[in-house]
Structure 1
């Protein structure tokens, strides 16, 4: 659960910081030979949020299945 919460908070904070960083780079470092579109579109935010959300969900499923296979009594009784 903590990983999912931290990923959601990271996505939300990343929206603000990413917008600021995009604006800073596009306005302060434009190349001489090309000009980029300085606008941010809703699809940019959706796509940038979906990538970490899908990776987090896939890792949560894998870790959940691995944790379910652990015998807790054996894990508590081991000396390691």
Structure 2
């Protein structure tokens, strides 16, 4: 079994680039939901098996479930890592050489 590890030190340049470009959490979430609606519509209407039929309508519960179910573990990780990320000087991280 391969162990997955998210290491902030390895991704600090990517995080710095996103922050320096001016992206905020709410903008990223909104773009993700809009892209998700289009992807959902594409998958449900064009890829169902011949012997099944899916309801292509989007309900508010779809958004709630898709946001809440996978949010538990990342929320815990975010609470732990927030302090470390906030203490990083983003401009110095972008100047560093890989």
List structure 1 runs of 4+ shifted beyond 4 angstroms: none
Number of residues paired by the alignment?
62
Instruction: Determine which structure has the larger helix proportion and give its number.
Output: 1
TM value normalised by structure 1: 0.58
- Give the number of the structure with larger relative contact order, counting CA–CA contacts within 8 Å between residues 6 or more apart: 2
Larger Rg: 1
- Give the unaligned 5+ runs of structure 1: 68-80
Q: Does 2:54 correspond to 1:36? A: yes
Q: Does 2:71 correspond to 1:58? A: no
TM value normalised by structure 2: 0.49
Deviation, 1:64, is 4.6
